[in-house]
C-alpha cells in the first residue's frame, strides 16, 4: 500500500481532493469521483484514509497555520502514517459517551488517560487523532476536544486483536499519563464534537464504495462462468442472473445518489445527512455482493486461511473477505444510527 502511495504521490494523484495550496491537484468533485471509481475498478491497493481523507482536510479547515505546515506535507508524502482514535469499549454508536480524559497540567501539556478500541493499523501508525474528554462537567457533546497524539509518546501502547476474518488490522490502544503538547489541540478547547461530525460525514461517503462493489460483482460473474450447475455454467442459471440483476439495479441507484451528492460538493457544500444514505446502501450492497461470491464457491467459499490446503489458492480469500465486510454496516456509525439520522434530519421525524 505504501509503495502505491508513493507512486500516486509522484504522479500528483495521491490526494485528488486536496487544493493546490496544500500540495494537491485541486480536482473538482467530478474528476475526484472518476479517478476514485477507476482505481477501485482496476483493483489497485486501497490507501489508508486516515491521513489523506480524514485528518488532513480537518487540519486544513480547523487547524492553525503552524499545524498545517507541520502535518500536511508528511501526510501527503506518506512519511507519517495516521490512525483514528474514536471508539472506546463503552462508546461506540453513542460516541459522545467517550471517557478518555485529557487534563490540563498547567504547564503547556494535556495529560491523557484512557483506551481506544478498533483502532485500525495502530501498530503501524506514527500519529493518532483522538476525541478526548476535556470537561466532564458539561453536556457530554460539549466537553470533547480533538487532539493529535504521537504514537511514540511514553505511555502509548497498541495491542493488536485478531478478528474473525483473521486480519490483524485492529488494536486496542491504551494511554497512561501521556503528555501531549497543547499545540496539538485542533480547533477550540471543548469544540471537538463539531470536528467529529465533519469527519464522520467524509468517512460515510467513502463507505459508498461504488467501484469496489462493481469490481466484486464483476468477479462474481467471472466465477459463475467457471462453475457448473446441471451441466451448464452458473452464469446461465436464472436464479443467479436474478441476484446479479437485483444487485446491479441497486448499485446503479447508489451511483445516481452519489452523483447528486457530488453536485452539492461542486457547489462547495460539505457532506450532510445525505451521506448516511450512501453509507447504508453502499455497505449493504457490498455485503450482498461478497455473500454471493461465497455462495457461488460453495464450501470452498468458507475457507479463512491462506496457504497450502484443499482449497484452491484463488478461492482462499472469500471466507475472510466475507467476515471483513460484515463490519461495513458497523464502522463509520452503524446503519441503525444512520437510519435515525435520516429520519431526524431528512424526513423531519425527530
- What's the pLDDT tens digit per position in 194-250? 999 888 766 655 667 888 899 999 999 998 998 888 888 989 999 999 999 999 999
**Number of neighbouring beta carbons within 10 Å of residue 220:** 25
Q: State which fold the 2-77 domain adopts.
A: Butyryl-Coa Dehydrogenase, subunit A; domain 1 (1.10.540)
Tell me what the mean pLDDT of segment 97-115 comes to: 97
For domain 207-346, the CATH class is mainly alpha
Question: Whole-prediction pTM value?
Answer: 0.87
The ranges assigned to domains in the chain are 2-77, 82-190, 207-346
Please answer whether residues 79 and 125 qualify as being in contact, where contact means their C-beta atoms are separated by less than 8 angstroms: no
| Interatomic CA distance for residues 130 and 153, integer angstroms | 14
* CB neighbour list of residue 16: distance below 8 Å, 6 or more residues apart: 24, 25, 27, 31, 32, 35, 36
**CA-angle at 218, arms to 216 and 222, nearest 5°:** 115
Vertex 40 angle, CA 34 and 42, to 5°: 100
Average pLDDT along the chain: 89
Q: What is the pLDDT of residue 147?
A: 99
Catalytic residues: 203
309: alpha, beta or left, given left = phi > 0 and alpha = psi -120 to 50?
Answer: left
pLDDT digits (tens, 9 = 90+) for 297-311: 887 777 766 556 666
**Residues whose CB is less than 8 angstroms from the CB of residue 328 and which lie 6 or more positions away in sequence, other chains included:** 207, 209, 282, 283, 286, 287
User: Hey, which residues does 157 pair with through a beta bridge?
Assistant: 174
All three cell numbers of 33: 469521483
Does domain 82-190 sit in CATH 2.40.110.10? yes
Is pLDDT at 171 greater than 80 in this prediction? yes
C-beta of residue 318 within 8 angstroms of C-beta of residue 297: yes
Amino acid at each position: 500500500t505504501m509503495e502505491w502511495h508513493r507512486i500516486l504521490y509522484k504522479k500528483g494523484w495521491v490526494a485528488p481532493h486536496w487544493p493546490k495550496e496544500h500540495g494537491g491537484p485541486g480536482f473538482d468533485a467530478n474528476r475526484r469521483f472518476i479517478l476514485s471509481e477507476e482505481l477501485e475498478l482496476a483493483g489497485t491497493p486501497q490507501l489508508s484514509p486516515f491521513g489523506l481523507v480524514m485528518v488532513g482536510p480537518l487540519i486544513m479547515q480547523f487547524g492553525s497555520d503552524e499545524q498545517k505546515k507541520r502535518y500536511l506535507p508528511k501526510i501527503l508524502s506518506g512519511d507519517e502514517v495516521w490512525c483514528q482514535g474514536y471508539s472506546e469499549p463503552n462508546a461506540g454508536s453513542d460516541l459522545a459517551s467517550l471517557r478518555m480524559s485529557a487534563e490540563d497540567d498547567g504547564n503547556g501539556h494535556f495529560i491523557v488517560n484512557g483506551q481506544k478500541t478498533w483502532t485500525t493499523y495502530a501498530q503501524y501508525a506514527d500519529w493518532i487523532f483522538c476525541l478526548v474528554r476535556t470537561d466532564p462537567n458539561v453536556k457530554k457533546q460539549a466537553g470533547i476536544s480533538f487532539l493529535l497524539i504521537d504514537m511514540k509518546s511514553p505511555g502509548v501502547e497498541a495491542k493488536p486483536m485478531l478478528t474473525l476474518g483473521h486480519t490483524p488490522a485492529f488494536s486496542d490502544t491504551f494511554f497512561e499519563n501521556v503528555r501531549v503538547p497543547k499545540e496539538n489541540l485542533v480547533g477550540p478547547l471543548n469544540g471537538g464534537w463539531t470536528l467529529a461530525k465533519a469527519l464522520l460525514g467524509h468517512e460515510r461517503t467513502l463507505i459508498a464504495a461504488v467501484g469496489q462493489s462493481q469490481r466484486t460483482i464483476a468477479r462474481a460473474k467471472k466465477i459463475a462462468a467457471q462453475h457448473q450447475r446441471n451441466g451448464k455454467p452458473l452464469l446461465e442459471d436464472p436464479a443467479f442472473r436474478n441476484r446479479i440483476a437485483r444487485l446491479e439495479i441497486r448499485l446503479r441507484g447508489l451511483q445516481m445518489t452519489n452523483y447528486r451528492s457530488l453536485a452539492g460538493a461542486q457547489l462547495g457544500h460539505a457532506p450532510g445527512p445525505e451521506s448516511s444514505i450512501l453509507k447504508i446502501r453502499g455497505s449493504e450492497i457490498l455485503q450482498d455482493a461478497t455473500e454471493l461470491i461465497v455462495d457461488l464457491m460453495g464450501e470452498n467459499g468458507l475457507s479463512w486461511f491462506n496457504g497450502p490446503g484443499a482449497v484452491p489458492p484463488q478461492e482462499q480469500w472469500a471466507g475472510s473477505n466475507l467476515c471483513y465486510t460484515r463490519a461495513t454496516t458497523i464502522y463509520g456509525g452503524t446503519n441503525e444510527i444512520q437510519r435515525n439520522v435520516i429520519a431526524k434530519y431528512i424526513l423531519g421525524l425527530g
